[in-house]
Structure 1
Amino acid sequence: MPSQDELPIPPVLFDAATGELLITASASSSKHDFDFYEGKWQLRNRKLKAKLENCTEWLEFDSTQEMYRVLQGLGNIDNYLATFDGVPFEGMSVRLFNPKTRLWSIYWADSNAGKLDPPVVGSFDQGVAHFFTQDTFNDKDVVVVFRWDARDKENPVWSQAFSADKGQTWEWNWYMYFSRFGSN
């Protein structure tokens, strides 16, 4: 089984007329894709100190997260709690499954900005998921990918990468290593 860093990112495809990302669901995508994630988790975070600046310095810190299902399983919500430089930080994700497209949309909001970010959209295939969006970071147009590696459902890994060249190259800038609360 390839390690987290050896997993390939699927090619990023754009609509020639609109420039929008083209995202299609895997054949196995379902509303049960995130069932493994329900409950309380301890996280070990590894985050680049600066994104898209050729930074090699990583910040490491602990956090917690709790997820529960909503909308009869078509969605879920999590609450992320951490402390940065002694200041409490809270984030939340809202994940919604569209049964017609079989795609998940993941929305993020946090206590710094107080707004929902554009959703990342995608699906799982054989325990690994990639979710994409177009966004702006420090006045640069970027493609963002979230990867969920849930091949080990008791120790999943979430990671994030940015591409400033439409998916030709990627900079991984955040990893979260999950373990069940109280399992250490």
Structure 2
Amino acid sequence: MRRIVAILLTAILLCRVTSAEAAEKGLVLRASDLLAQPFIDAAKSGPLTANQPVTILQRRGAWANVEAGGKTGWVRVLNLRLEPGPAGAARPGGARPSGGNPMSLLQTGSSGRTVTTGVKGMDEEDIRNATPDYAELELLGTLAVSADDARATATKASLKENTVDYLDKGRSRK
């Protein structure tokens, strides 16, 4: 499991996804703030109200750059829902949504798929067409700590080490 999480996190940090989804229409699910940058602590550009229509300009991991009420900014993908469209309709750039349902990209709740916030808004085609960003990889390397430092920090926080065996291929936890 740790290996899968590490691979997904690395892929997200190394990849720049093209904005084939540009100019999609959506709705805000719950009131939130429009932010100047795709960061939780970024400056606020203005408020977004529930059910407010937005134009999705770009996606970056768990964030979407949107235009709403004449302002542009960033909002979490989990706060958005795509407006319904014809099933299997091509997105700008010719890309087709996975499963033929454009709503599947921003659905929340039980959708029959397991998703994490880090890859919400990305489909298999986006991941396959992604390219490595070596500057981000170099930055990632600067964030590493030694195993001894990690253990010392965990000990100070009263955390206990736990080893989890990998599942054999084809075997489930059940």
Q: What is the TM-score normalised by the length of structure 1?
A: 0.23
Structure with greater contact order relative to length (CA < 8 Å, sep ≥ 6):
2
Which has the larger share of strand?
1
Greater gyration radius: 2
Q: What is the TM-score normalised by the length of structure 2?
A: 0.24
